[in-house]
Chains A and B, each alone.
Chain A
């Protein structure tokens, strides 16, 4: 732009601000800082910030801002040229314990022991795909548009898949997830979570667990594929460095190995999720989701109705507290799906449409919800406060997947959006 600019950031994001400026080519950018937070403070409190000190320089803030715009540039601030970042040597050497410590202390793990990625193990992992080790897969960063994107190859992903404990036969799924370019660790101050629905023959080929405890720690592919996603995000996408590329205030236990959901196609009365998205039934596909959380849905109204509970009412009720920023994903046991068929929902589409229309929020609440009216119906701003509008933007923001071991007709609801589906077969 060529206009002097003074960016102002709160002190909580000091490292993020400096690192992002450096990665974007302005390592000496004159960033000014306020105390944290600004959001939620009164006008008087904000003015007091201005009359106080910059918490980094400990000098009065407003003169610092003025100085950022008027102090003549130093030679370093006028530099141009290109810098090539380097991520370190190709190989690390040491004893098992030394290497475990080294990977952990340099932010390359999830702080649990890894399988050390020796050449032999990585070569074996690469046999899990026909693709060239040097083939570029995609680009990833902690938040698209906010960070420079790193690129990665089949070999990079193989190293992380070994570290996560994957068998080479799982590698096509890990590659497909990596090809989605969705990181499992977002830079947001929210503590977001991600999910991957797995469909098609590969579920049985790998003995994935889609029955009892499918989303728990009870099967190697379910556990390690999701763990590989997080390691790929950290190491290939520069995600997950607290204070710099990860700012989630709480963190999220889902981030250890994410929500890996192989659909129970065998016991579902409906067409599989990937078929809904245009893939063939005999094709193996991963569909990735991104959003807030997942929780049990047993408290929903309608579940006590006999003989067939009105599950759809519980879905809509449970979505009632979701953020309109994302969509809604129902994860239901096959018993629930079979009950819904008895209620007349022979296919998923009319059910999803019903849930979308009945998962509502008042206009008054939408106006005061964080980002509320930006993501609900645009016309809602002109409706009376007591009118009710769908929480989610349209019916395509509501999805359902069938999984579980039929021990009871339960469901879960996730405040998550579908962010794409990728063929696994293309990565075999």
Chain B
């Protein structure tokens, strides 16, 4: 399976197309590539201008000799860019993709679900963000009121927000049946 990943939404669309209704970015890329004919590259312009710029520039010395602002010197680059545009006003050119490489994604099967929560122990886990402890306490109160056979256990995950907490996961696996985890804000 291979999908385009210009942004992460396109990834989700590729993996779970039902989540988004708009057109997939990957499809848009395909259309754009077909629409933009691969014309020859006009390998003109630009570097000669940069080369000239380097020859004449010693801004610090110029500044000290003339008492001028370095901003006065900035025009040379702008002029170079203007000359570049004028050199090929309508030609097709090729440009490289600037993206790095995302890691492969290993699909993780979800854990089997419970038939019922009656009589089960649910761990209420906070990642440490302010307010999560209060929010999870309200969930505990809700269960006491509406599903009193459910036992809830509150735990604060150790470490900073993204840190793993294998000790807690082992405890939950040994003593719990399900987890409700408050993440972030």
A residues lining the B interface (CB < 8 Å): 1-10, 12-13, 15, 17-20, 22-30, 34, 36-41, 43, 46-47, 49-50, 62, 65-66, 69-73, 76-96, 98-99, 102-103, 106-108, 115-122, 124, 140, 143-146, 148-153, 156, 159-160, 163, 165, 167, 169, 189, 204, 207, 209, 211-213, 217-220, 231, 235-238, 241, 244-245, 370
For B164, give the chain A residue with the smallest CB separation.
Answer: A145
B105 on the A face (CB < 8 A): yes
Known: A62-B146, A207-B58. A76 touches B16 (CB 8 A): yes
B148 on the A face (CB < 8 A): no
Q: Which of B93, B108, B132, B177 contacts A3 (CB 8 A)?
A: B177
Known: A79-B109, A92-B94, A121-B47. A98 touches B36 (CB 8 A): yes
B131 on the A face (CB < 8 A): yes
Write the nearest CB–CB distance from A397 to chain B, whole angstroms.
Answer: 17
A329–B99 CA distance with the chains assembled, in angstroms: 32
A377–B91 CA distance with the chains assembled, in angstroms: 63
Known: A8-B183, A89-B33, A118-B96. A124 touches B178 (CB 8 A): no
| Chain A residues whose CB sits within 8 angstroms of the CB of B103 once the complex forms | 148-151
Are B98 and A107 in touch, CB under 8 angstroms? no
B138 on the A face (CB < 8 A): yes
Count contacts on B: residues with CB < 8 A to the other chain. Answer: 103
Are B95 and A116 in touch, CB under 8 angstroms? yes
Known: A84-B1, A88-B4, A88-B6. A236 touches B104 (CB 8 A): no
A308–B131 CA distance with the chains assembled, in angstroms: 48
Are A2 and B100 in touch, CB under 8 angstroms? no
Task: Tally A-B pairs: CB < 8 A.
Answer: 351
Are A9 and B111 in touch, CB under 8 angstroms? no
For A20, give the chain B residue with the smallest CB separation.
Answer: B8
Are A146 and B131 in touch, CB under 8 angstroms? no
Are B100 and A237 in touch, CB under 8 angstroms? yes
Identify which of residues 45-92 in chain B touch chain A, using a CB-to-CB cut-off of 8 Å: 46-47, 50, 53-54, 57-60, 63, 69-71, 74, 77, 81, 85, 88-92
B107 on the A face (CB < 8 A): yes
- Residue pairs across A and B with Cβ atoms less than 8 A apart, 22 shown, are A4-B114, A6-B178, A23-B11, A23-B102, A36-B185, A47-B138, A81-B106, A82-B107, A83-B106, A86-B4, A87-B101, A88-B29, A92-B95, A106-B7, A118-B94, A121-B47, A145-B163, A151-B103, A159-B98, A212-B70, A213-B71, A218-B70
For B95, give the chain A residue with the smallest CB separation.
Answer: A116
A41–B135 CA distance with the chains assembled, in angstroms: 9
Are B117 and A69 in touch, CB under 8 angstroms? yes
Known: A40-B131, A117-B98. A95 touches B92 (CB 8 A): yes
B158 on the A face (CB < 8 A): no
A115–B88 CA distance with the chains assembled, in angstroms: 14
A69–B152 CA distance with the chains assembled, in angstroms: 14
